[in-house]
Amino acid sequence: MGKAPQAGYEVYDFRRPDKFSKEQLRTLQMLHETFARLAGSSLSAYLRTTVNIDLISLEQVSYEEYLRSINQSVFTILSLPPLSGQAVLEIEFSLVFTVIDRLLGGVGKAISRTVLTDIERPLVKQTVERMFQALKSAWEAVVIVNPGIEGMETSAQFVQVAPPNDIVVTMLFEVRIGSQRNAMSLCIPYLVLKPITAKLSAQKWFSNSSRKLNPAARRMLTYSVNQTSVDCSIRLGSSKIDVRDFVCLQPGDVLRLEQKVDDDLHLLVGEVPKFTGKPALQGKKLVFTVNDTIEE
């Protein structure tokens, strides 16, 4: 038999349900996959460049373990009314400065720095608030929350939203902006989500999400899609040559393409051919005239 607990120590009940079930974790995963997609669309319009956000992992760990796994980041402490308590949105400094550089007219170059200036902090807050709108829309199928910023820190030791041994659910995201790949995470304590654990079931989520889309969410989704930038390119043709000839290519060499002079060219959206047309001149600029669509 174990020893009786000494005076002053908390008696821990191991039967206490302070962890999420597999079904609840699966629902949280689906919710935050939706959040990642909406946040990526919103930031693409905001930064005027393609932003892809993917949910990489979701797990439940102790809060102390979560903090130990992070360094060199900006921590946004957020509230989720009507839920009680606080959560944390963590963004790597390299991602923060990539976003700031885009907002200030740059190409999105990261800076090796771990301090935010008084000018940079409002820019970070505006970016985070846009992601909060995506979080609110993603969560509407379960509960209507109104995320708000309670504070912003650059050191993990000042971020205390839960006791060290309390269970938290952590979502790790990969954020791609151009060639930059960075990480972002969202940490929500179990006690914050405890009042709605009964709603965190796949059946409940699908039932609610099948209802008519909220008008505000519809407007946000429509705006994000309309403002999203896509990469377009014109395929002039293709040719097959030996590696030996490829290595020896020099300026002035001529390649014979498989494309005929009178054939329409293909306009690609991303990497997918979508339209056919002809090149033309508009003043001193080379343009592309769309003639027809390419059916899938």
User: Are residues 174 and 250 located together in one domain of the fold?
Assistant: no
> What pLDDT was estimated at residue 12?
40
Tell whether 96 and 213 lie within a shared domain.
yes
Q: Cα separation of 183 and 173, whole Å?
A: 6
* Rounded Cα–Cα distance for residues 50 and 122 (Å): 22
In a domain, 2, yes or no: no
Question: pLDDT value at position 135?
Answer: 93
CATH of the domain at 39: 3.40.1550.10
DSSP string, 184-208: EEEEEEHHHHGGGGGG-SHHHHHHH
Residue 93 located in a structural domain: yes
Q: For residue 61, how many C-alpha atoms fall within 13 Å in the half-sphere facing its CB? A: 15
CA–centroid distance for 232 within its chain: 23
Domain ends where: 227, 254, 270?
A: 227
Query: What is the per-residue pLDDT for 11?
Result: 41
- Asked if the structure places residue 3 within a domain, the reply is no
Which pLDDT value is given to residue 15? 41
Asked if residue 60 belongs to a domain, the reply is yes
Contact 38, 55 (CB under 8 A): no
Which of 190, 205, 227 lies at the terminal end of a domain, its last residue?
A: 227
Residues 70 and 169 in one domain: yes
pLDDT at 86 (0 to 100): 93
Low-confidence spans in the chain with pLDDT less than 50: 1-17, 210
Query: Residue 38 has what pLDDT?
Result: 92
Residue 189 lies inside a defined structural domain of this protein: yes
- The answer to whether the CB of 92 falls within 8 A of the CB of 112 is no
The answer on 245 and 103 residing in a single domain is no
Residues 271 and 130 in one domain: no
Per-residue model confidence (pLDDT) at position 9: 42
Identify whether residues 207 and 238 lie together within a single domain.
no
Q: Counting beta carbons within 10 angstroms of the beta carbon of residue 76, is it exposed (0 to 12), middle (13 to 18) or buried (19 or more)?
A: buried
Q: Do 157 and 288 reside in the same domain of the chain?
A: no
Q: What per-residue confidence (pLDDT) applies to 293?
A: 87
Structure tokens at 33: 């996959």
What is the per-residue pLDDT for 14?
Answer: 41
Handedness of CA 97, 99, 104, 107 (dihedral sign): positive
Evaluate whether residue 9 is within a structural domain.
no
68 and 138 part of one domain: yes
Give a yes or no: residue 8 inside a domain. no
- Condensed to tens digits (0 to 9), the pLDDT of residues 209-253 reads 545 556 666 666 676 677 677 788 888 888 888 888 888 888 988
For the domain that residue 238 is a member of, what is the CATH number?
A: 2.30.330.10
CA distances from residue 247 to 82, 134, 241, 250 in whole angstroms, order as listed: 64, 48, 10, 9
Question: Do 147 and 274 belong to one domain?
Answer: no
Beta-carbon count within 10 A of 56 CB: 13
28 and 171 part of one domain: yes
Query: Which DSSP category does 33 fall into?
Result: H
In the prediction, which pLDDT does 35 show? Answer: 93
Enclosing domain of residue 240: 232-293
According to DSSP, the residues that pair with 278 across neighbouring strands are 289
Dist. CA 232–CA 234, nearest whole Å: 7
pTM of the model: 0.64
